[in-house]
Each structure stands twice: as structure tokens, then as C-alpha cells.
Amino acid sequence: MLRWTSLFLSNIKVAYALTPCAIGEPPVSRARMLADLSYFITEVYTKRPQGWSFATKFNMGGTGFMHQFYLWSLVRALKPKHIIESGAYNGLGTWQLRQAAPDAQVIVLSPKTPHIYVDQHNDSRYFTDAHFRDFSSINWACVDGLDRASTVVFIDDHQSGYRRMLEAHARGFHHLIFDDNMPAPQSDHFSVKGACAASKGEFGGLEKWDDFRGIKDDWGRWQHGQFNVTKQQLSMVGSSFLRAVNVYAEMPPLWSAGLPWPGVQPPLMSNEEAKNFVGQHNEQLRDFRTEAIAYQGFLYVRTKPWYQVKPWSLYYPEKITANGYAGIQPSEVVDCDQLDRGVAPALLKTTKIADDWKRNHGAGLSMRFGV
């Protein structure tokens, strides 16, 4: 979940127009989401691990109510055998994944081990702390029994969504969910939504391109490196996006609270309906406007299979300076080491309350790519 946008969104003036992006059929319909919402908040959300403070109860800095609902809805509909989560923060997203897919294998990538929830299934695997590996640097052939066609990759790591999409496609993963999916300047990375906007010639605000270091370390210090890209390069990104994507489905905001989100789908509820809903569940939700501010264009993407589009045919700006970044194409060798297999939950180092203020903002943010 984007941390800083919520601090100034209520005062933002959108300086450019975006039209909504939509390609193909989403895995879950608007009607299905509306029908499931009451069950979710009463039978799932109220039972979530809530920690020991207001901040942990509402997972501040992490996935909020709306996004937890979308995540649960999508994963229930997709029924994956395996789930990879890149960026786990407190572990609330992991918990929702487990509620939505009780029998799936869960694989978690995050610089620090979550301290509110760690999934204890025997086949769960963690790439955290000393075992942390960035999504792009793991040799996925070494993860025993991984069926990539039946895997969902949930990305909440504040790296470029467009880059992550190409990385996942190149590694044979085609079902992708993105937590943070807003365009510049409302995002800390170049999102898949930005690539979709570029495919329609909507270039406003996109010319400053993050070099994909994102938040550079685990302490939340903003260390952006940026470079300029031309409209010609953005057009090439847009063309690659259209070649790669079968389904692009942003989840609509549950309600808008009158906020000026650019290019989003119509909300599921009117503001009056939403106020009544929040009032009925005021012990579990923050106020009407705060919950709406946390919406960040939550997205499902299904990319095309390799026989339709080759990964090396897709365009990606060449100027990358993140330390140790191996590139879009995987380097999967026969030899496997323990770091490529992850760690069982029972072997993880126990975290504690004192670690909370140091909690990472997602995976892939450390300077230590490939450590």
C-alpha cells in the first residue's frame, strides 16, 4: 500500500486526464463483489490478526480494508495451487491469502520477517531476513513442485509494476495481482497503469521514470533515482503492454468519497450507501474518507503465454542502476542452493514489537538484490 499519497491526496489537483483501463473479463464481477462484501467483513475481516495498537489493527502502512477485500475476492475466484507474495509488511496480506486459499502453498518474499502473522503451513516458504531474495533473483526452478501455470503472484513491493509484470511473464507466471497501481505523481514507481496509459497516448506525468530502486532500504528513506524517457520510449512501453496482456482488470473503489482518482472504474457504492456501511461496521473500519484515501487502483493482470508473445520481444527502458539487478530475463541454472528454496516457517527468527518501527515497506527495496 502506498504510504505517502494518503497524506496529501485530499488536497491534490490532478493535472492531467486519464481514461479507465480495461482489457478482457475480470475474474470476479462487480455483482459478485457486492454480494460477498457483507460476508467478508463479518466472517473474515473481523477475525484478522490485529496486533496491539491502532496502527496494527488497521494495518497502517500496509494493505487497507478495500484492498484486503479485493485480494480475498480475486484469490477465491482464481483458486491457485501456489501463491507468491512479494512484499509482506506485517503479514496481514498473507493472512488474507490463506483465508482465500486454505490449501495453497504460500511463498513470502520480504526483507524483514512479518511480526503479526507468519503462515505456519508445512509447505509455506519464506525468503526473509538473512534469506531474503528479490523476486527477480530467485531461481524458481529450484522451488519444489511449483506449478507456475497455477500460481498467483501478489506484488506489493513498491518496485516498478511494469518491470514486475515483464519479470513474472519471463519466468512463466501469468496471474498477477498488484496492490499499488497509480500513475505518477501519485505513485512511488512506474506502475502497470502507467504502461496502460502510455498505450493510449496518455503521457501526462509519465516522463520521469523511476530507476526501480524504489525506497532504497528497509528503513523507509526515500532514495529515488530517476531518468527522463521520451514519448517515443513511452509509446514502445505502451505497445509492449498491449502485446503482453490478456486481461487488465482494476478493482473499482468500493466508494469514492469525492476523491479525484484519475482514470478509475465507477465505485461499487454511492457515498450515501458507503456512509451507512461504514456506520454499521465502525468498530472495524476507519472513517469514510480515510478508507477511501487508501484505494490505490488494485489490479489483476493475466499475461499472454510464451507461444503468443516472447519475453525478449517486449520493450523495457535500458537505464537501470539498482545494485546487482540481473535484468528482466531469468538466469535459471541447474544448480540450486538453500537460498533458492526458501525457509520453512518453523526456522524463521522470531520478531518482536521493537522491530515494528523498522518494518520494511515491501520486498525488493533493499540495496541487497540477490543477497
Indicate the domain borders of the chain.
Answer: 5-358
Computed over every residue of the chain, the mean pLDDT equals 82
Of 84, 82, 175, 170, the residue nearest 127 (C-alpha): 84
pLDDT at 203: 77
93: region left, alpha or beta (phi > 0 left; psi from -120 to 50 alpha): alpha
pLDDT at 214: 40
pLDDT at 273: 97
At 246, which helix (H) or strand (E)?
strand 245-250
| DSSP for 12-39, written as a single string | ----S--PPPEES--SS-HHHHHHHHHH
- Residue 344 burial by CB count (10 A; 0-12/13-18/19+): exposed, middle or buried? middle
26 within 8 A of 214, measured Cβ to Cβ: no
297 within 8 A of 182, measured Cβ to Cβ: yes
Pairing between β-strand 151-155 and β-strand 82-86 as defined by DSSP bridges: parallel
Q: Which residues of the chain have pLDDT under 70?
A: 1-17, 184-185, 205-227, 318-326, 332-334, 350-371
Phi–psi pair at 106, nearest 5 degrees: -115, 130
Percent of the chain whose predicted confidence (pLDDT) is above 70:
79
The label of the residue with cell 526452478 reads 141
Of 199, 182, 183, 290, the residue nearest 244 (C-alpha): 199
The pTM (predicted TM-score) of the whole model is 0.89
Of 97, 98, 101, 95, the residue nearest 115 (C-alpha): 95
Strand order of the β-sheet with 151-155 is 22-23, 245-250, 299-303, 175-178, 151-155, 82-86, 105-110, 125-128
Cα torsion 135, 360, 290, 11: sign = negative
Distant-in-sequence, close-in-space partners of 125: CB < 8 Å, separation ≥ 6: 105, 106, 107, 108, 143, 341, 342, 343, 344
